[in-house]
Amino acid sequence: MNLKRHLALTRAGIMESLQYRLGTAVTLFANLIYLVLVYFLWKAIYASAGTDVVNGMTFTDTMIYLILATALFNFLEMFVVWDMSRSIQSGKIILDLLKPMRFREYTFWSYSGSHVVLFALTFIPTFIVVLIVTHGAIPMGLNLLWFAVATVLALIVNFSMEMIVATICLYTESTWGINIVKETIVLLLSGASIPLAFFPEALRQVVDYLPFRAVYDIPLTILLEKNDTNTIEGLLPMFGLQLAWALILTLAGTLFWNHSVKKITVNGG
Amino acid sequence: MENTMTQPIKRRGFGFYLRIYRKILVQDLKSKMSYRADFLISTIGMIMTNLSGFVTFLILFKNFPSINGWDYYHMLFLYGFSLVALTPVQCFFDNNWNLRFQVQSGDFIKYCFRPINVFFYFMSEVFDVKGLGQFAFGVGTLIYAWVHIGIPVTPFVIAKLVLFLLTASLFMIAIMNAAAATCFWIVGSGYVMVIMFRFKDFAKYPSNIFHGVFRILFTFVIPIAFVAYYPSLAILESDNIPVLTWCAPALGILFFYLSYKFWMLGVRKYDFTGS
Amino acid sequence: MENAIVMKNVCKDFKILNRHEGLKGSIRDLFSRDYKTISAVKDVSLEIGKGEIIGYLGPNGAGKSTTIKMMTGVLEPTSGDILVNGVVPYKERTKNSEHIGVVFGQRSQLWWSLPLIESFRLLRDIYMVPKKEYEEMLELYRSLVDIEPILHKPVRQMSLGQRTLSDILAAFLHNPAIVFLDEPTIGLDVSMKSKIRDLIKGLNQEKNTTVILTTHDMGDVDALCKRIVIIDEGKKIYDNDIDHLKTYFGSYRTLRMRLSDDTWEERVIDETKEDVMQVILQKQKEQKIKDIQLQEISTEEVIKKIYEGGN
């Protein structure tokens, strides 16, 4: 693996993202307003509940969880499915396949640049604001390091899911439908719209073992040191789940892609 | 035969546009029938989104029995109301989502060569059938909540409902038009649309949860308070309808008009330098 | 002759951000307010008569598309006046588009998933073409090209050639006074090219339609245009007959001579300075000439010379 070549893609991605300066500013601003909405909604919800702690989550916990989940969502969001379907329809996919790099790697590293920019422009500022506003609600220790590791794993799991869904686009033109199904399932079952702690027990049992959790819930749980993740015993199962899914999905995705890509070559684009 | 240069100017009124839209719609539906798989998958997608929204709602209410004094059925009413109000933007204005790509690639220019309104021509190209699924889901929810709250069914109430549903949808259309039109000025503004569309999820909560500056912001600048809350008060609190609810229809038309003007200004401003 | 288009001292400027190179440059650009003005069209005046077919030429980025966009009312000129059919296009875009037809290269303006005939019907309604005129137009189309195979085919299933053909037919459907064709033959095979040229010529003759043709294919120009306008770096540098073009740099011809060792020797001769016969006689004194050929300089070569900056 030639790292220099991969980092060149990252660099190009960063430069491309920075071209859209007004777009970036507007994105930041729109995000802020969204967070205000989340804040008011949950403030009202907790005020109506009458108690400070619901399912082990205080208002502050819930806020941190949801705000950072949104920030993670923005930073992790990829448009692989849309890009794929567009390049299939235009025939550009053939050019991508001819690049001297495996398609999967090429896609991953092309996106890495925008991930870096978004991490610096959306996640870090949000994190700092949350840190200051909640003074001290986020533990500042080794958990930050574990969180970083979990985020990288989350990125890999998320990318693998995107690639699998994108591969389905080789079979159907119904990109919108496929994408919305994916998005809906991921948003709901990963804890991005409602913390998983609020899910009913029976549902929780199932969701705990699904890959979606590895994307938002696990990194955030680790960051907030919930579920004993401040101990090695609590931490290991989390990483184990992420790693297992990262491996399974990468493998499954690669096999699925290799099998499906023959189809395009047959169709001639 | 000579060119038509000297002929009188042809007038294109409301009737003309209605006729053209109907014809395009019929043709569009016909060609959609040939993509049965796509239709099926999209419908499943639509059902999934609605179910997921509903599940979120249920989970929330399992943990918290009321929000700001609004109980389960009233919240459900608001939820159904917002779904129905979202139908027109979904069905008739869905092409807004493609605007960014067409503007960037330069393909948008083709809408400027016809002797008809650019906004109309652009929007007429896509009719989104999936929106009807959402409509059905919303109506179901609305009726369910309606029965449980025990609102009387009279022609007057129904008329009021229709009027305020239309009002609510005007606000949503206005929000999406304005969000889409940003791409004429700002490259890479796609996220604005995504986030505005996510804002709509907050339309189904009572807007009195917002305070201070933000209440004004979400009422008059990004009018999500009008997408369900204020219009639905016309039905839910018919004895005590707030002033803003009365103003809603006029405001809705105003917001729609402004968003249309903004969109058209974008077309004029856009310099078509995209290759 | 009545004028279809009149342009007087038209200029068009664009303001663009000065981009810097590299990663550091990109970050700097985030905050930069360093704009520069680019003049895409500089002081162009032009008169185009009714029924003419004009070849509007120029190298890539010369300002051709910008001019066309101004004539169609999509762009507003920075200064100067344009009248198209007596209408100021930018001020009355809708009225202007009533009388023009536009084909933009490989971008189809038809409804992608509809069969061609349905697109035609929609256009008939949009342009409010009377039923009789519409039928006559279809009849004319049938007499010029074989449209039956494509009439019931959705545009997205068509080959590039069929799509271009369809777009051209659609542009003429409402019998516009002026049709703008932007690279109509790009990417097409030889037989399709000639089919499309015949169609354009036929429609121009039947309907006396003014045609503004931008192209990089000199075959199009030779087949269709009597007059050509060349624009380079935003300035009009040539506006005259195509025949006159060949004498633009003097009257050139290429003389080829087959010598005794069967090799061909080539000489470009400026007839204002040299006499062809004199050159041959001169050569014959040195060597035996077995055969001679005299070739006119091709349009392509002249154009190339002009683009490259002349002598």
Q: What angle do CA C262, C263, C267 make, to 5 degrees?
A: 135
Q: Which residue of chain B comes nearest to A83, CA vs CA?
A: B101
Strands C178-182 and C210-214: parallel
Chain A segment 223-242 residues within 8 A of C by beta carbon are: none
Contact A19 C27 (CB under 8 A): no
Q: Which three-class secondary structure state does DSSP give residue C51?
A: coil
Contact C126 B273 (CB under 8 A): no
Amino acid at C106: Q
Contact A21 C27 (CB under 8 A): no
Going by C-alpha positions, the residue among B224, B177, B182 that lies closest to residue B205 is B224
8 Å CB contact between C221 and C302: no
- Which of A9, A16, A19 to mutate to test binding with chain C, by most C CBs within 10 Å of its CB? A19
Q: How far is C243 from chain B (nearest CA, A)?
A: 29
Check whether residue C189 and residue C274 sit in a common domain: no
DSSP B217: I
φ and ψ at C231, to 5 degrees?
Answer: -125, 140
Quick one: pLDDT at residue B219?
A: 92
Would you state the structure tokens that stand for residue A269, as one six-digit string?
């684009």
Residues in chain C, how many? 311
Total Cβ atoms within 10 A of residue A103 = 17
Query: For the segment C140-159, what is each residue's pLDDT rounded down to a tens digit?
Result: 999 999 899 899 998 888 88
DSSP C298: P
Check whether residue C231 and residue C283 sit in a common domain: no
Strands C53-57 and C210-214: parallel
Gap between the terminal Cα atoms of chain B = 37
Quick one: pLDDT at residue B155?
A: 94
Select from B41, B48, B63 the Cβ nearest to the Cβ of A184: B48
Which pLDDT band holds residue C311 (cuts at 50, 70, 90)?
very low
- Chain A positions in Cβ-Cβ contact with residue B214 (cut-off 8 Å): 36, 40
Strands C235-241 and C227-232: antiparallel
Q: Assess whether pLDDT exceeds 60 at residue B5.
A: no
Which pLDDT band holds residue B138 (cuts at 50, 70, 90)?
very high
Q: How many domains does chain A have?
A: 1
CB pairs under 8 A between A and C: 17
**What mean pLDDT do residues A219-246 have?**
88
- Chain C positions in Cβ-Cβ contact with residue A7 (cut-off 8 Å): none
- Identity of the highest mean pLDDT range in A19-33, A211-225, B2-16, B24-38: A211-225
Quick one: pLDDT at residue C43?
A: 93
**C124 Rama class: left (phi>0) / alpha (psi -120 to 50) / beta:** alpha
Select from C22, C23, C29 the Cβ nearest to the Cβ of A21: C29
Check whether residue C291 and residue C226 sit in a common domain: no
Q: Does B8 touch chain C (CB under 8 A)?
A: no
Going by C-alpha positions, the residue among A52, A67, A39, A56 that lies closest to residue A226 is A56
Strands C264-270 and C252-259: antiparallel
Query: For the segment B96-113, what is each residue's pLDDT rounded down to a tens digit?
Result: 998 988 888 888 988 989
Chain B segment 108-147 residues within 8 A of C by beta carbon are: 109-110, 112-117, 125
Quick one: pLDDT at residue C26?
A: 67
Q: How far is A80 from chain B (nearest CA, A)?
A: 15
Check whether residue C222 and residue C288 sit in a common domain: no
Spatial distance between the Cα atoms of B21 and B134, rounded to a whole number of angstroms? 22
Quick one: pLDDT at residue C250?
A: 65
Spatial distance between the Cα atoms of A162 and A249, rounded to a whole number of angstroms? 10
DSSP B70: B
Contact B113 C97 (CB under 8 A): yes
Would you state the structure tokens that stand for residue C229, as one six-digit string?
């306008």
Query: For the segment A15-46, what is each residue's pLDDT rounded down to a tens digit?
Result: 776 666 677 777 778 878 888 888 888 888 88
Which pLDDT band holds residue A190 (cuts at 50, 70, 90)?
confident
- Chain C positions in Cβ-Cβ contact with residue B117 (cut-off 8 Å): 94
Quick one: pLDDT at residue A265?
A: 54
Q: Assess whether pLDDT exceeds 50 at residue A269.
A: no
Domain boundary among C245, C263, C285: C245
Going by C-alpha positions, the residue among B229, B258, B192 that lies closest to residue B79 is B229
Q: Assess whether pLDDT exceeds 50 at residue C90.
A: yes
Q: Which residues of A touch B (CB under 8 A)?
A: 17, 19-20, 22-24, 26-27, 30-31, 33-34, 36-37, 40-41, 43-49, 54-55, 74, 172-174, 176-181, 184-185, 187-188, 193-194, 198-200
Query: For the segment C165-187, what is each residue's pLDDT rounded down to a tens digit?
Result: 999 999 999 999 999 999 888 88
Domain span at residue C241? 3-245
Check whether residue C263 and residue C241 sit in a common domain: no
Check whether residue C68 and residue C177 sit in a common domain: yes
Would you state the structure tokens that stand for residue B188, as one six-digit string?
């890479």
φ and ψ at C158, to 5 degrees?
Answer: -85, 155
Select from C23, C29, C31 the Cβ nearest to the Cβ of A11: C23
Q: Assess whether pLDDT exceeds 60 at residue A204.
A: yes
Strands C3-17 and C79-84: antiparallel
Quick one: pLDDT at residue C29?
A: 67
Total Cβ atoms within 10 A of residue A67 = 23
Q: Which residue of chain B comes nearest to C90, CA vs CA?
A: B268
Going by C-alpha positions, the residue among B225, B204, B230 that lies closest to residue B145 is B204
8 Å CB contact between B227 and B251: no
φ and ψ at A53, to 5 degrees?
Answer: -115, 125
Would you state the structure tokens that stand for residue C228, as one six-digit string?
């050509």
- What are the residues facing B67 on neighbouring strands? B70
- Chain B positions in Cβ-Cβ contact with residue C69 (cut-off 8 Å): 109, 272
Quick one: pLDDT at residue A92?
A: 78
Domain span at residue A87? 3-267
Quick one: pLDDT at residue A262?
A: 78
Query: For the segment B29-82, what is each residue's pLDDT rounded down to a tens digit?
Result: 887 777 777 778 888 888 888 888 888 888 888 888 888 888 889 999 999 999
Q: Which pTM value belongs to this model?
A: 0.83
Domain boundary among C203, C225, C245: C245
**What mean pLDDT do residues C115-131 have?**
93
Spatial distance between the Cα atoms of B205 and A41, rounded to a whole number of angstroms? 8
Check whether residue C182 and residue C264 sit in a common domain: no
Going by C-alpha positions, the residue among B209, B221, B248 that lies closest to residue B85 is B248
DSSP element (H, E) containing C39: strand C35-49
* CATH, residue C63: 3.40.50.300
Calculate the dihedral angle through the C-alpha atoms of C171, C175, C179, C184, rounding to the nearest 10 degrees: 40
Total Cβ atoms within 10 A of residue A197 = 19
Query: For the segment C8-64, what is each residue's pLDDT rounded down to a tens digit?
Result: 999 998 877 677 776 677 666 666 667 778 888 999 999 999 999 999 998 888 888
Q: Sign (positive/negative) of CA torsion A132, A134, A139, A145?
A: negative
Domain boundary among C228, C245, C262: C245
**What mean pLDDT do residues B168-174 have?**
96
Q: How far is A235 from chain B (nearest CA, A)?
A: 27
Select from C14, C97, C177 the Cβ nearest to the Cβ of B115: C97
Check whether residue C280 and residue C239 sit in a common domain: no
Q: How many domains does chain C have?
A: 2
Q: How far is B114 from chain A (nearest CA, A)?
A: 26
**What mean pLDDT do residues C230-237 have?**
89
Q: How far is B51 from chain A (nearest CA, A)?
A: 9
Total Cβ atoms within 10 A of residue C186 = 15
Would you state the structure tokens that stand for residue C113, as one six-digit string?
């998933």
Amino acid at C180: F
Spatial distance between the Cα atoms of C85 and A60, rounded to a whole number of angstroms? 68
**What mean pLDDT do residues C222-232 have?**
91
Q: Does C239 touch chain A (CB under 8 A)?
A: no
φ and ψ at C295, to 5 degrees?
Answer: -115, 140
Spatial distance between the Cα atoms of A202 and B2, rounded to a whole number of angstroms? 78
Q: Assess whether pLDDT exceeds 60 at residue C123.
A: yes
Q: How far is B154 from chain A (nearest CA, A)?
A: 34
Count how many Cα atoms sit within 13 Å of the Cα of residue B231 in the half-sphere of its side chain.
Answer: 35
Which pLDDT band holds residue B4 (cuts at 50, 70, 90)?
very low
Would you state the structure tokens that stand for residue C189, as one six-digit string?
């095979």
Q: Does A43 touch chain C (CB under 8 A)?
A: no
- Which of B31, B49, B57, B63 to mutate to test binding with chain A, by most A CBs within 10 Å of its CB? B63
Total Cβ atoms within 10 A of residue B264 = 16
Quick one: pLDDT at residue C124?
A: 94
- What are the residues facing C104 on neighbouring strands? C107, C182
**What mean pLDDT do residues B172-198 have?**
87
Residue with tokens 């990194």: A219
Share of chain C above pLDDT 90, in %: 42
Q: Assess whether pLDDT exceeds 50 at residue A266.
A: no
Q: Sign (positive/negative) of CA torsion B220, B225, B226, B230?
A: negative
**What mean pLDDT do residues A113-117 have?**
81
Report how far Cα A180 is from the mean position of its chain's Cα atoms. Answer: 15
- What are the residues facing A106 on neighbouring strands? none
DSSP A170: T
Select from A11, A14, A18 the Cβ nearest to the Cβ of C29: A18
Query: For the segment B236-245, what is each residue's pLDDT rounded down to a tens digit?
Result: 988 888 899 9
Check whether residue C264 and residue C224 sit in a common domain: no
Would you state the structure tokens that stand for residue B265, as one six-digit string?
């200004």
CB pairs under 8 A between B and C: 85
Quick one: pLDDT at residue C5?
A: 93
**What mean pLDDT do residues C199-209 have?**
93
Using CB atoms within 10 A of its CB, is residue A174 exposed (0-12), middle (13-18) or buried (19+)? buried
Q: A210-224, B200-214, C258-272: which has the minimum mean pLDDT?
A: C258-272
Spatial distance between the Cα atoms of A26 and B188, rounded to a whole number of angstroms? 9
Contact C111 B110 (CB under 8 A): no
Query: For the segment A48-94, what is each residue's pLDDT rounded down to a tens digit?
Result: 887 888 888 888 888 888 888 888 887 787 778 888 887 877 777 77
8 Å CB contact between A251 and A172: no
B126 Cβ neighbours under 8 A, 6+ residues apart: B28, B94, B95, B98
Q: How far is C30 from chain A (nearest CA, A)?
A: 5
Q: Does C41 touch chain B (CB under 8 A)?
A: no
Q: Does A21 touch chain C (CB under 8 A)?
A: yes
A13 Cβ neighbours under 8 A, 6+ residues apart: A109, A110, A111, A112, A113, A114, A115, A116, A117
- Chain A positions in Cβ-Cβ contact with residue C22 (cut-off 8 Å): 15
Check whether residue C177 and residue C51 sit in a common domain: yes
Quick one: pLDDT at residue B12?
A: 84
Q: What angle do CA C182, C183, C187 make, to 5 degrees?
A: 150
Contact B199 A37 (CB under 8 A): yes
Spatial distance between the Cα atoms of B165 and B180, rounded to a whole number of angstroms? 23
ipTM of the complex as predicted: 0.82
